[in-house]
Amino acid sequence: MPEDLNAMAVFAAVAEARGFRAAGERLGVSASAVSQTLRKLEGQLGVTLVQRTTRSVHLTEAGERLYASVRPALEELRTAVAAVGELSDVPRGTLRLLVGTAADPVLGGPLLAGFLTDHPHVRLDVVVSDEAVDIVAAGFDAGIQLGEWIDRDMVAVPVTGDIRMTVVGAPAYFARRGTPRQPRELVEHECLNWHQSAAAAPYRWEFTEPGPDGGREITVAVPARVLSTDSAVNIRLARAGLGLAIVYEDEVRDEIARGELVPVLQEFCEPFPGYYLYYPQRRHASPALRALIDHLRRARQSPSPRAARHAARAERPTSVAAKGQPRRSGRRQQD
């Protein structure tokens, strides 16, 4: 029976990670060990569970059926193990987090280091991605993402205050091409744009009309001199004077302070709700996750200088915005 449970856990990890190497990293074993366990399980069952190629792993029809059956059982088993772990006063175990790419700096530096120092028996497995993922099905304990993209059935804990996007360019660019005074003038400029993936449409730059009758949203389909899936690439090119980029303000705060980049159209760039840690309502938070939540709350009460810039902005209400009502996230805009 223990071997059967282990094989099912390995199979579920392969199904969720869609690869032997990724599954092995999750389980703490080699890719070859994962492959051998899966082949043994397929031999016992007499069916092929996955189709293997040099680049990916896909479930067969039999694999899909088996995964649909064992996933709830494994989830209950994980919950039971976590419940037993709660009998200990010391948080321990592996905490799996799915983190949006722009939220990655939120976890860097003293924030995570302090948490790991305070809880030496907790291990972190952090996946940084902008892909839309069901964190329960993928085996994550929690995620960190913009609040507006979090489903209503999730428990959301604020990590930052409001954030803002800004349009930036190098002084050399403005000397050569002039400065846009309002968003619609961007169509006359060279822009460095972003899209979520190679198949996704370019991001349409979003602004809000200022003034007493403000609040009206403006969307501009800018001409892209460069189209990238990585905002860091656009920032470097903007510093080189090749065009204008729209990025999160905190991503370029140091460059602006040094005069390498200059923000424009600031009156059209309103703050919007920042990042939240989220997890399913129906799942009881493990001691490790509860410890992280408490750590994040303490960090917001006694913020570092960088976090203080977030906290100085308006707090977001505790309720989570509905999915499908995007503001200036710049990350998952739909076609």
Which residue positions in the chain have pLDDT lower than 50? Answer: 1-2, 305-335
Which helix (H) or strand (E) covers residue 227, if one does? Answer: strand 224-228
pLDDT of residue 256: 96
pLDDT of residue 264: 97
Q: How many CB atoms lie within 10 A of CB 309?
A: 16
Give domain limits for the chain: 2-84, 91-163+272-311, 165-268
165-268 adopts what CATH topology?
A: D-Maltodextrin-Binding Protein; domain 2 (3.40.190)
Q: Determine what percent of the chain falls in helix, strand and coil, rounding each to the nearest 5.
A: 40, 20, 40
Domain 2-84, CATH number (from 3.90.550.10, 3.40.50.11260, 1.10.10.10, 2.60.120.10): 1.10.10.10
pLDDT of residue 328: 44
What 3 state SS string does 166-198 have?
Answer: EEEECHHHHHHHCCCCCHHHHHHCCEEEECCCC
What CATH number should be reported for the domain whose range is 91-163+272-311? 3.40.190.10
Q: Give me the long-range contacts of 128-131 (CB less than 8 A, separation at least 24).
A: 128/99, 128/100, 128/101, 128/104, 129/98, 129/99, 129/100, 129/101, 130/100, 130/101, 130/196, 130/331, 130/332, 131/197
Fold agreement (91-163+272-311, 165-268): yes
Cα 176 vs. chain centroid, distance in angstroms?
37
